[in-house]
Amino acid sequence: MAVYRLLKELGIAYQRLDHEPMATLEACRGVDELLEIHMCKNLFLCNTRRTDFYLLLMPGEKKFKTRELSGQIGSARLSFAPEEFMEEYLHISPGAVSIMGLMNDREGHVRLLIDEDVLQEEFLGCHPCVNTASLKVRTKDILTRFLPWTGHEYRAVHLTGE
């Protein structure tokens, strides 16, 4: 797969775990224990006019509150983006949303938002653009090698989840 080739090309080490399709965070609970990571939520969002798109990485245990995030990024109310945009920009389907999809967004349609708690983790857990495998990757490698290759920057956000 393209994800594995790219990680190899960038010299990014990873641990891979193949499993049955897992489309929800709840389904991934055993995976995070096996990989010894905190799996995070990956939400694909857009504004009401569907002109601005965001990929949000946040801790799985936090609740997403659109008002809290919208205020921080100065955007109108956010909602889950329609599937067709996810497929067009990230080349992934629902249930497989992942930071790895940014490798397919070469025109920069999607802005990356990362909760500050996720940034504190040594490792990031994510799907390799399919929900039949999970990866454990050093957060530092994602930030310093993967994102520069994709041309994406990230914005740290503070979500209380309360």
Residue 140 host element (H or E): helix 139-141
Indicate the pLDDT class of residue 132, thresholds 50, 70 and 90. Answer: confident
Percentage of the chain with pLDDT > 90?
66
Segment 118-127 mean pLDDT: 93
- Lowest average pLDDT, out of 62-66, 99-103, 145-149, goes to 62-66
Per 3-state DSSP, the chain is made up of helix, strand and coil in percentages (nearest 5) of 35, 25, 40
Burial class (CB in 10 A: 0-12, 13-18, 19+), 105: buried
Segment 97-105 mean pLDDT: 96
The type of residue at 89 is Y
**Please, which residues bridge with residue 123 across strands?**
138
Six-digit token string for 158 = 């503070």
Segment 53-59 mean pLDDT: 96
Interatomic CA distance for residues 13 and 138, integer angstroms: 8
Is the model's pTM score more than 0.75?
yes
Confidence check: pLDDT of 87 > 90 = yes
Confidence check: pLDDT of 65 > 80 = yes
Class of 2-157 per CATH? alpha beta
| Tens digits of residue pLDDT in 10-53 | 999 999 988 887 756 666 677 777 788 877 889 999 999 999 99
Segment 92-121 mean pLDDT: 95
- Higher pLDDT residue, 77 or 6? 6
34 contact partners, CB below 8 Å, separation of at least 6: 17
- Lowest average pLDDT, out of 33-37, 135-139, 148-152, goes to 33-37
Beta 78-80 vs 133-138: how paired, if at all?
unpaired
Segment 73-78 mean pLDDT: 88
pLDDT at 61: 84
Confidence check: pLDDT of 156 > 80 = yes
Confidence check: pLDDT of 106 > 70 = yes
